[in-house]
Structure 1
Amino acid sequence: MESVDKLKVAAALLLVVVGVGGYYSLPADQGLLRVSAVVVGLLFAALVLWFSRPGKDFVDYARDSVKEAQKVVWPNKKETWQMTGLVFLFVGVLALFMWAVDSGLAWVFYDLILGRG
């Protein structure tokens, strides 16, 4: 990262800090103004980052992410219900299996080994 980009990132962080500082320096009864200070600080920070190399890289990454998300093929309603049914069936079978193993181990340890039946 170039030194100019480092300065831009530092300036953006400073703008965020100034916005948050503005929030705490304003009176508590000025809620809208306090929130506006933070929002303005974030907007100016985003504007500064927009013109830096890391900011442009982030925008490119976000665009690529949106393109990839558009390629996703979502299941229809029937497929969704079928998969939900399979999940519930699997959970039920697994619960029965775990109950059987737990009961079997309890029987082995408490009845056979320790004789506490």
Structure 2
Amino acid sequence: AEQAMIVRVLAVLAGAGLAAAVAWQTEPGRRFFGFAREASNEAKKVVWPSRKETMQTTGLVFAFVVVMALFLWLTDKGLEWVLYDLVLGWRQS
């Protein structure tokens, strides 16, 4: 079972290598590899936020979600009261 898994992994890797070699021979393939190289170079230039900045931003997002949920709940309850109690005259129990 262990050998079968190794053979499958090697077959997939060999297939991927063969596909890359074939793609390298075509113009669209060369353009793709050039694009991938440029994208990799751009990704190296990214300045990631510090842990402190990440935690602060995450806290701000959670706080906004809580405030928005409260606002939507209050709006829903207000509209429910206006429609059922005032407009239709139904009593909610």
TM-score of the superposition, structure 1-length normalised? 0.66
Deviation at 1:71, TM superposition (A): 1.2
Select which of 17, 20, 25 maps to 1:46: 20
Q: In percent, how many aligned pairs have the same letter?
A: 55
For residues 20-70 of structure 1, give each alpha carbon's deviation from its aligned partner in whole angstroms, at most 9, with x where no partner exists: xxxxxxxxxx94456654543332222111122111111110111011111
Aligned partner of 2:60 in structure 1 is 86
Deviation at 1:87, TM superposition (A): 0.2
* Letter matched to residue 67 of structure 1: N
Unaligned runs of 5+ in 1: 1-29
Deviation at 1:79, TM superposition (A): 0.5
Alignment of 1:1-117 (within 5 A): 31-32=4-5, 33=7, 36-117=10-91
* Letter matched to residue 35 of structure 2: Y
Unaligned runs of 5+ in 2: none
Greater relative contact order (Cα < 8 A, sep 6+): 1
Q: Provide runs of 4+ in structure 1 moved above 2 Å.
A: 30-43
Distance (whole Å) between structure 2 residues aligned to residue 69 and residue 41 of structure 1: 27
* Letter matched to residue 69 of structure 1: A
For residues 71-115 of structure 1, give each alpha carbon's deviation from its aligned partner in whole angstroms, at most 9, with x where no partner exists: 111110110111011101100110110011000000011101111
CA RMSD of aligned residues (A): 1.8
Distance (whole Å) between structure 1 residues aligned to residue 48 and residue 10 of structure 2: 39
TM-score of the superposition, structure 2-length normalised? 0.81
